[in-house]
């Protein structure tokens, strides 16, 4: 199971010196959703994870942790 690693999202965004508004613009994910994800208030679905990764120019594997059952 894939689980987003919020710290990896925040770090990737910081490396690119990108605001949540800029990430929203390039990823198509609402600013409010990005804020909720980064604060741990919501867990994104796989499609949203893919959009965020693409917007950050990283692979999905770079922003998730794989959990084994």
48 close to 33: Cβ distance less than 8 angstroms: yes
Residue 34, helix vs strand vs coil: helix
Q: Which residues, listed in sequence order, are joined to residue 64 by a DSSP beta bridge?
A: 4
58 close to 16: Cβ distance less than 8 angstroms: no
Q: What is the pLDDT of residue 69?
A: 66
Task: Determine the structural domain holding residue 30 and report its residue range.
Answer: 2-66
Q: What is the pTM of this model?
A: 0.90
> Is the model's pLDDT at 55 over the cut of 90?
yes
> Is the model's pLDDT at 8 over the cut of 70?
yes
> Is the model's pLDDT at 5 over the cut of 70?
yes
CATH number, domain containing residue 53: 1.10.260.40
Number of domains making up the chain: 1
User: Distance between CA atoms of 18 and 15, rounded to whole angstroms?
Assistant: 8
């Amino acid at each position: 199971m894939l689980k987003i690693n919020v710290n990896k999202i925040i770090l990737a965004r910081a490396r690119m010196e990108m605001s949540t508004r800029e990430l929203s613009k390039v990823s198509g994910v609402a600013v409010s959703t990005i804020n909720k994800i980064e604060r741990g208030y919501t867990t994104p679905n796989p499609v949203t994870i893919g959009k965020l990764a693409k917007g950050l120019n990283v692979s999905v594997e770079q922003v998730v942790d794989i959990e084994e059952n």
